[in-house]
């Protein structure tokens, strides 16, 4: 549309009282010059403003552009047709994938949820200071006996692969300032891992977006960044301690979806390389779940865990630290029970021994 037409439309958008009304604008102008400039959350908010904006905001091309802008991996040809087959296309995909995975209420956990017949698809994007570092799509088969019985693990990169980046360690972060360099990576590296179930047409973002912990491996010297999503039976979101108390009361079992990114080559002035990106699921004991168990946990998370709402929850790191605290408390309780049981067994054994010898002596 020409600029003169746009100015004319702006003029007609003023009613007799001198107040501008967006309803007076031509729908093409609203779609091309307003809605097309919004990000996902703003576009979703605009859709709730009026019936006319709701109809205009349902345009599939708008949501396709939003999804590809946030997650370049979804532009992969393998995902184009799949996402279009979602109930509302890219709008449904965004609704599933944008919020951080929150919880699965116990009454919504379906132990008989059907497993995907065509496998799982992972769409992964890693950013550094807002610039794309790595974008990959990985397909995982889920029907073989080997997958169902083996520990669940999705490796994004081949062991021999190493993805170079433009991230360079500044000289000021060398030597004794290694902690500052790790802190810099923690604050500037973000990751999105969207898991897609092509059978049920559902998706969930399993990443905490920012790392929950960053450390240097004591043997190899490589930097390892952990992203995590804690899936609990129930819990609040106002604070980590309140969430911890409610989770401990309502969720006897919790699961962690852990994503580990390993980087190397970060010497002074050197270029950082991404060498490993992997995802697994573990329980409160730290045991890695096998494929069958992981499919059940992740499938229920995709169905009901996100609740399709943007919540004002604690960030991923706070929830992860609360999870670790709860796991420590659980381990301590287990150790106390085992110690009490061992003591009871010892006392019982000594009592039986004393009683036996007493009977022998007084025969």
Mean pLDDT of 47-60: 88
Provide the pLDDT confidence category of residue 337 given band limits of 50, 70 and 90: confident
Res 290: pLDDT: 95
Of residues 111 and 122, more confidently modeled: 122
Res 265: pLDDT: 84
Mean pLDDT of 58-64: 94
What contacts 125, CB < 8 A, 6 or more positions away?
Answer: 71, 72, 73, 132, 134, 135, 191, 192
- Lowest model confidence (mean pLDDT) among 132-136, 174-178, 352-356: 174-178
Res 232: pLDDT: 63
Res 272: pLDDT: 92
- Lowest model confidence (mean pLDDT) among 15-24, 175-184, 304-313: 304-313
Task: Report the chain's mean pLDDT, rounded to a whole number.
Answer: 81
Q: What is the DSSP string of 207-266?
A: --SS-SEEEE-TTT--EEEEEEEEE-SS---S-HHHHHHHHHHH-S--EEEEEEEEEE--
* Dihedral sign, Cα of residue 332, residue 337, residue 343, residue 349: negative
Res 5: pLDDT: 40
Of residues 239 and 196, more confidently modeled: 196
Mean pLDDT of 74-101: 90
Query: What are the sequence ranges of the domains in the chain?
Result: 27-90, 102-237+250-338
What is the percentage of the chain residues whose pLDDT exceeds 90?
A: 43
- Give the pair of three-digit tokens for residue 312: 């004002």
What is the CB neighbour count within 10 angstroms for residue 31?
Answer: 16
Mean pLDDT of 316-331: 81
Res 156: pLDDT: 94
Residue 208 near residue 315, CB atoms below 8 Å: yes
Residue 274 near residue 165, CB atoms below 8 Å: yes
Of residues 316 and 159, more confidently modeled: 159
Answer yes or no: is pLDDT of 279 > 60: yes
- Lowest model confidence (mean pLDDT) among 112-126, 133-147, 216-230, 296-310: 296-310
Res 203: pLDDT: 93
Residue 235 near residue 243, CB atoms below 8 Å: yes
Provide the pLDDT confidence category of residue 7 given band limits of 50, 70 and 90: very low
Q: Does this model's pTM top 0.95?
A: no
Q: For 225-262, how does the pLDDT look when each residue is reduced to its tens digit (9 = 90+)?
A: 999 988 764 443 434 445 444 544 444 578 899 999 99
Answer yes or no: is pLDDT of 72 > 90: yes
What DSSP element (H or E) covers 224?
Answer: strand 223-231
Res 99: pLDDT: 73
Report the SS3 class of residue 32: helix
Provide the pLDDT confidence category of residue 196 given band limits of 50, 70 and 90: very high
Q: For 152-194, how does the pLDDT look when each residue is reduced to its tens digit (9 = 90+)?
A: 999 999 888 889 998 988 775 445 578 899 999 999 999 999 9
Res 335: pLDDT: 85
Angle between helices 77-84 and 90-97 (to 10 degrees): 100
Question: Can you tell me the distance from the alpha carbon of 281 to that of 274, in angstroms, rounded to the nearest whole number?
Answer: 22
Mean pLDDT of 334-342: 87
Question: Can you tell me the distance from the alpha carbon of 230 to that of 283, in angstroms, rounded to the nearest whole number?
Answer: 10
Of residues 305 and 37, more confidently modeled: 37
- Rg of the Cα trace of the chain? 27
């Amino acid at each position: 549309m020409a600029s003169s037409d746009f100015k004319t439309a702006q003029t007609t958008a003023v009613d007799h009282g001198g107040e501008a009304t967006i309803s007076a604008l031509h729908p093409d102008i609203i779609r091309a010059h307003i809605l097309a400039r919004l990000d996902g959350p703003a576009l979703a908010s605009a859709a709730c403003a009026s019936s006319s904006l709701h109809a205009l905001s349902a345009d599939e091309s708008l949501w396709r552009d939003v999804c590809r802008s946030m997650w370049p991996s979804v532009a992969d040809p393998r995902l184009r047709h799949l996402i279009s087959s979602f109930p509302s296309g890219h709008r449904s995909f965004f609704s599933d994938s944008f919020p951080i995975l929150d919880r699965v209420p116990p009454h919504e956990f379906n132990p008989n949820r059907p497993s995907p017949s065509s496998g799982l698809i992972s769409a992964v994007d890693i950013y550094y200071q807002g610039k794309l570092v790595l974008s990959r799509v990985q397909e995982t088969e889920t029907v073989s006996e080997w997958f169902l019985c083996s520990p669940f693990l999705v490796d994004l990169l081949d062991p021999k692969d190493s993805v170079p980046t433009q991230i360079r360690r500044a000289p000021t972060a060398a030597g004794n300032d290694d902690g500052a360099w790790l802190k810099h990576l923690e604050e500037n590296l973000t990751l999105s891992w969207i898991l897609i179930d092509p059978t049920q047409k559902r998706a969930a973002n399993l990443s905490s977006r920012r790392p929950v912990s960053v450390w240097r491996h004591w043997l190899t010297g490589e930097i390892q960044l952990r992203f995590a999503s804690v899936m609990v039976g129930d819990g609040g979101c106002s604070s980590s301690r309140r969430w911890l108390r409610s989770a401990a009361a309502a969720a006897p079992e919790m699961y962690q979806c852990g994503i580990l990114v390993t980087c190397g080559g970060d010497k002074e002035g050197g270029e950082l390389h991404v060498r490993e990106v992997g995802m697994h699921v573990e329980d409160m004991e730290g045991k890695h779940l096998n494929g069958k168990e992981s499919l059940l946990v992740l499938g229920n998370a995709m169905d009901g865990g996100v609740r399709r709402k943007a919540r004002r929850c604690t960030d991923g790191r706070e929830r992860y630290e609360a999870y670790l605290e709860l796991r420590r408390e659980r381990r301590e309780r287990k150790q106390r029970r085992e110690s009490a049981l061992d003591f009871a067994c010892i006392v019982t054994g000594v009592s039986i021994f004393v009683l036996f010898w007493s009977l022998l002596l007084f025969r």
